[in-house]
Amino acid sequence: MNAIKIIAVRALLVSAGVLFYAQSAWALLPIQHWQEPSGASVWLVESTAIPMVDVQIDFDAGARRDPAEQAGLAQALAGMVSKGVRAGRGFAALDENALGEAWADLGAQFEASAGRDALSFSLRSLTEPALLDKAVHLAARQMAEPALPPEVWARERARWSASLREADTRPGTVAAKAFSSAVFGSHPYGQRPTPQTLERIQVADLQRFHAQHLDACRARVHIVGAVGKAQARLLVAALLARLPASSPCAPLPAVPEVEPLKAAAQQNIPFASAQAHVYIGQPGFARKDPDFIALLVGNHILGGGGFVSRLTEEVREKRGLSYSVYSGFAPGLHAGAFSINLQTRPDQAAQAVQVAHEVVERFVAEGPTEEELRAAKDNLVGGFALRIDSNRKLLANVVNIATYGLPLDYLDGWTRRVEALTVADVKAAMARKLQPARMVTVVVGAQP
């Protein structure tokens, strides 16, 4: 075992020993925020009990930036980042196997992913200097100088396309795609990669997308761990050192908002399956909406609270129409979808759809009862600690605060805002956002 590995093993043992004593204090740790000379914005939570640091670097380069004819472009770039780095600045090239071995030797993790709104790079490392310096340097190379070998992209594209074709043989995929298209129309939130859109993505497109969107001035850097501000600034500078740093930072083109639905619509898609798959919903709201917490609580009562929700009571418990039924909002930078999802016997699909619609209509018209609101508050407030009981969960909350411009003390006031809600607050918020008479219903596999 080499010296680096010995250090990593020792530090991990120390981390495991103190993990259980650190969690209770995380909710009280302040979030520091500043902007670097490069233009990068930084959010830091110092959590010193564990000798570890988690970093997430986000760029406005998620799927909402994909050209419609090349849906999947951001996700393709994220997937190819782990397939090797170029040679340069005195360092040899690394193929995907050598890159994987380098990370294994460091006992660190580096990943890339693409969601709707961001292309994200995540680093987890122990803060032992001999490890952290090497991990940051390797992460900087991988983020700024991916090799993007054409033969590897051809291989990965073929695998991905085969996976998409297989998924299209399942009724759940067919239903989800039809629902997304009906809710979002031509908005990028409704785009999904297909074998055809992937075929239009060449290595030159990956390189161009990388060059257009990955600039130090556009970076949002989120850090949780055993580093102070001075060390965090050095860490950020090193991570972004190999990226271009434009000044001034040119704005990216605006992405249009999601259009509300003008009328109700229903699609009944034939499919030979044992279960009918049902989606009901509409565009919801953007995450920055001031109604967010009221809608979170309202949806918990309507269909997000599992076996205690109204939808479960009416659809499953009283009528036995479905084993599970749930509802949820998926807000982002733009209005994500509100959706109700269930599976039922094909001969019961029409009844299940009717009951689900009636539950939503009644809830929007009447709001929750005092007993329902009290139970939802108790459940959400009681489970709040589970939202921040690890570095990674705390980091996810910091990312949420940074991405959507929430107050830095957002977590500190979360339970207080939940407790302050009234029945009238929840009813009004749900009525502002849900239009039961203008929802999309997609049923795949129902009996004709």
Q: What DSSP string runs through 323-353?
A: S-EEEEE---SS--EEEEEEEE-GGGHHHHH
Comparing 7-21, 155-169, 414-428, the range with the smallest average pLDDT is 7-21
pLDDT at site 388: 87
- Picking from 403, 195, 171, 426, the residue whose alpha carbon sits closest to that of residue 298 is 426
Residues 211-250 pLDDT 10s: 999 999 999 999 999 999 999 999 999 999 999 999 899 9
- pLDDT for the residue numbered 274: 95
- 265-444 shares the fold of 3-240: yes
Q: Which of 63, 62, 60, 71 is nearest to 201 (CA)?
A: 71
pLDDT band for position 448 (50/70/90)?
confident
The pLDDT tens digits for 333-370 are 999 999 999 999 999 999 999 999 999 999 999 999 99
- Place 27 in a pLDDT band, splitting at 50, 70 and 90: very low
Which helix (H) or strand (E) element contains residue 239? helix 229-240
235: Cβ–Cβ under 8 A, 6 or more apart, which residues? Answer: 53, 55, 132, 136, 223, 227
What is the greatest pairwise CA distance in the chain? 70
Say what the pTM is: 0.92
| Top-level class of domain 3-240 | alpha beta
Q: Is residue 30 over pLDDT 50?
A: yes
Task: Enumerate the domain spans of the chain.
Answer: 3-240, 265-444
Nearest to 9, CA basis, from 112, 104, 79: 104
Give me the mean pLDDT over the 41-50 stretch. 94
**Sheet with strand 220-225: strands edge to edge:** 32-35, 41-46, 220-225, 52-59, 119-126, 109-114
H-state helical runs in 341-434: 349-366, 370-382, 391-403, 414-420, 423-433
Q: How far apart are CA 144 and CA 210, in angstroms?
A: 8
**What is the CATH T-level fold of the domain 265-444, as seen in this structure?**
Cytochrome Bc1 Complex; Chain A, domain 1 (3.30.830)
Closest CA to 372 of 380, 323, 325: 380
d(CA 222, CA 163): 33
- The number of angstroms, rounded, from the C-alpha of 176 to the middle of its chain's C-alpha atoms is 17
Q: Name which of 322, 329, 331 is nearest 356 in CA terms.
A: 322
pLDDT band for 2, please (50, 70, 90 cuts): low
pLDDT tens per residue across span 296-335: 999 999 999 988 999 999 999 999 999 999 999 999 999 9
